[in-house]
Structure 1
Amino acid sequence: MSAAPADRQQVVNFGCRLNIAEGEAIRSAVEAARARDVVVFNSCAVTDEAVRQARQAVRRSLRERPGAEVVVTGCAAELEAERFAAMGARVVRNDAKGLAASYQSGVSPRRRGPISGGFEMAPAGDGPLPSQGHREDYTPALSGADHARAFLGVQTGCSHSCTFCATVLARGTARSASVEAVLDAARTALTRGQREIVLTGVDLASYGDDSGSSLAALVGALLALPVERLRLSSLDPDRIDDALFALLTQEKRVMPHVHLSLQAGDDMVLARMKRRHRRADAVRLIERLKAARPEIAIGADLIAGFPTEDDAMFANSLALIDDCDIVFGHIFPYSPRADTPAARMPQVGRTVARERAATLREANARRRQGWLDAQAGRTATMLVERDGLTGHAENFAAVTLTAPAAPGSIIDVRLLARDGDRMVVTPTQEKDIAA
């Protein structure tokens, strides 16, 4: 990251789509606070590497912008508040990242004092974490207009206890936005011309558990709006009920792309992770999805090298890529997170975890490339990104146009050939179409 001029406001997002959506709330809060020279890092803590990258970026910013106020928020800030504060950054809690008061000037970023008004914190432990009693509704987070797609965060936190995950420590128990608040945010996206909405959350499938609603009910309410394309981010396979299954397989405006939080393909590993599904459940669900809607493309989160994982257990996870036809793998090596049960289990070692992750990625790349090759000659519709040349087909295949098209438009295309992990496409008609 290069140095920025004075009076510049900068927000840097790390990690998930929810952070991308929340980054816009941070940007608006910084502007409302009239902060002059500030850089905000919206951090991630899903892995040790994510936290390391956040620390590295903060150090660089402190060095290259000595006159700026450097603020760190997000999950890494929750888990390592004292460390970031000791570096000289100002720390803002996850629950306060969208509030203007969090970025008002007048508090030295070098001072390590107590929380002020619940918005600033320095040393860890000076006040409750979100998991310790914060139960207010979640305010929907809507990304900016810089993408053709709108990322809409509808839920935060998680009420489950997977042994590898620090999310509850960083974001608290699950909290959902109200349906009306989500619809208002969706209307904002539609008004500014964004024709595809991506619903996201920490544990999206648990939406409504705290309010008596459900993700299927929310999707149904959104489809009453003139939404042309709707996507759902990662889903817990155990939480796809009949109503949500019907929407995924029968509603044409819900894109044929299902990303599942599988994590592993071995039953012993899944049990030690405290996941609520088993291997056969995942395979059966995907068979049902594809039988009902054959064009559905499957994505999955997978962890390599979980504690106690032996060669046979890893082989089961490796085979899952073919058994479940996973073409979009989000694969990463296990890294121990402090204060989680998995960190106290016998570790397989980082080298082994990284090697196994590389093997999984290679297998997934072969599967994806074979799937893309099979797309050649077919027609699809694509949402054109702001660059006018790239986008995604309905099944989330990444595509590149042979000639520019109107940014934000949805056009018919013919898939010509694979170029690496993308398909080269050509428009089959000039005019914009309605999904």
Structure 2
Amino acid sequence: MSVPQIVSLGCRLNIAESETIRALLGQRDTVVVNSCAVTNAAVSETRAAIRRARRERPGAEIVVTGCAAQIDPAGFAAMPEVDRVIGNAEKLSSHAWEAFEPVLVGDIMQVRETAPHLASAFAEHARAFVEVQNGCDHRCTFCAIPYGRGNGRSVPAGAVIERIGALADAGYREVVLTGVDLTSYGPDLPGRPSLGQLVERILTHTKVERLRLSSLDSVEIDDRLFDLIAGERRVMPHVHLSFQAGDDMILKRMKRRHSRAQAVAVVARLKTARPDIAVGADLIAGFPTEDDAMFANTRALIDDCDVVHAHIFPYSPREGTPAARMPQVRPEVRKARAAELRAAAAERKAAWLASLVGTTQEILVERPGDRGHTPAFAEISFPLPVRAEPVEALPFLPGKKGSPSTSSGRTDVGCVSQILVTASDGARLSGIPA
């Protein structure tokens, strides 16, 4: 019996969409590469995944979809390994998977609606991902994603609540709200609801235990959403903020809508209201025209905003974007600055992880049953599979990969267990200097 394979690259929205694709495929002998186009490196990774899929499954149909395929369908259709290319809107339609056109990619800018996915299970994940928003109406000078995702559009609250309610009933303890520009949720819907209003309704009308938000634009966190992040126990104490830079001139040239002071202020407010909140951020190193002083401001933002979950990207010139036409920073400088940001972020994260030793955390257990994440998204691995009942005194091994030891205990992926975080004798703590 053929088993379809989904290779999901890039964002959490792609993860959510990949599960819908899985439901639509049935038992076809197909490998789907759900691509990313956020950087040139992501596009190269997509091409590598396609070639690897052909080597590993020479008789399978190879289909490419996602943002890279939407932006450059002809380029991917020309690859000898590729059988079909399907666009970002079409990939969620059963018609696309029943059709035979080698290239099925429409004008994403004409798409005006989006809907929750068909997926009722997430094959490789203990948490469920629910799309509530797609597309983006902003035009940051470095970003090609609007051309892969189209303009901003939102899922009506009723459909979101119905989907999350069904997932909670199916046993999912944690749900992640996803979108391309999540905090812009709602202006295209009747009554112009905000993301804060949507979160409030989800908490009121579903029994989901843990609600996590994907990337947020800090300037769009209104008072209602702020209060829910700061004070609602079921909203996880973890925000990932789309900062991109920490220098005002670079932010202006990126066409971002916040200042450095605003970024620092929103984090200070959040940390004051909810001290255990963990902050993540996207940061770009070596944006065009960035000099040493501008870079130093971005480097300092990691400490000023206590960033412990950092996504660092060396600037990647995307064809057709305004930033690609600006004076470029040399590639070796971009690479060196990205490495410096990663080192600074790793040092900050190590200190945060060390501060968790001696605390009791609720862990969502993930596959294969020897790992999980805290509410603030610290990754912890265990020497034995975790059981459904609370356990204590397991060693703290953040980020350490490995198979669980032989045990007669039952592994309950998706359960939430309380764990006392302790240091493990002789074990190297990944992310904490030895």
TM-score bin, normalised by smaller chain? 0.7 to 0.9
1:67-216 to structure 2, matched below 5 A, reads 67-88=59-80, 89=82, 90-104=84-98, 106-107=100-101, 109=102, 120-121=104-105, 127-128=106-107, 130-131=108-109, 133-140=110-117, 142=119, 144-211=122-189, 212-216=192-196
Counterpart in 2 of 1:41?
33
- Give me the CA root mean square deviation: 1.8
Q: 1:140 to 1:175 in 2, by over 3 A?
A: farther
The answer to whether 1:332 aligns with 2:307 is no
State the alpha-carbon separation in 1 of the partners of residues 130 and 13 from structure 2.
Answer: 7
Counterpart in 2 of 1:260?
241
Identical aligned residues as a percent = 54
Secondary structure of the 2:421 match is strand
Instruction: Map Cα deviations across residues 241-293 of structure 1 (whole Å, 9 max, x no partner).
Output: 10000001010111111110000000000000000001000111111111111
Counterpart in 2 of 1:8?
3
Tell whether the 8 Å contact from 1:196 to 1:227 is kept in structure 2 after alignment.
yes
1:304-315 to structure 2, matched below 5 A, reads 304-315=285-296
Q: Which amino acid aligns with 1:98?
A: L
Q: 1:322 to 1:106 in 2, by over 3 A?
A: closer
Counterpart in 1 of 2:212?
231
Tell whether the 8 Å contact from 2:19 to 2:123 is kept in structure 1 after alignment.
no
**Which of the numbers 344, 354, 358 marks the counterpart of 1:363?**
344
Tell whether the 8 Å contact from 1:400 to 1:422 is kept in structure 2 after alignment.
no
State the alpha-carbon separation in 2 of the partners of residues 216 and 417 from structure 1.
Answer: 38
1:351-390 to structure 2, matched below 5 A, reads 351-390=332-371
Instruction: Compute the displacement of 1:106 (Å).
Output: 4.4
Secondary structure of the 1:97 match is helix
The answer to whether 1:24 aligns with 2:16 is no
Number of residue pairs matched by the alignment = 398
State the alpha-carbon separation in 1 of the partners of residues 179 and 430 from structure 2.
Answer: 26
Q: Which amino acid aligns with 2:68?
A: A
Q: Which amino acid aligns with 1:21?
A: A
Tell whether the 8 Å contact from 1:141 to 1:152 is kept in structure 2 after alignment.
no
State the alpha-carbon separation in 1 of the partners of residues 188 and 124 from structure 2.
Answer: 32
State the alpha-carbon separation in 2 of the partners of residues 59 and 37 from structure 1.
Answer: 17
State the alpha-carbon separation in 2 of the partners of residues 226 and 188 from structure 1.
Answer: 10
Instruction: Compute the displacement of 1:61 (Å).
Output: 3.0
Counterpart in 1 of 2:326?
345
Gap regions ≥5 residues in structure 2:
388-411
State the alpha-carbon separation in 2 of the partners of residues 274 and 309 from structure 1.
Answer: 14
Instruction: Compute the displacement of 1:388 (Å).
Output: 2.0
Higher strand share: 1
Q: 1:381 to 1:83 in 2, by over 3 A?
A: same
Counterpart in 1 of 2:283?
302
Instruction: Compute the displacement of 1:380 (Å).
Output: 1.7
1:279-294 to structure 2, matched below 5 A, reads 279-294=260-275
TM-score, normalised to structure 1, is 0.88
TM-score, normalised to structure 2, is 0.88
Tell whether the 8 Å contact from 1:73 to 1:92 is kept in structure 2 after alignment.
yes
Q: Greater CA deviation, 231-240 or 410-419?
A: 410-419
Gap regions ≥5 residues in structure 1:
1-5, 110-114, 122-126, 424-435
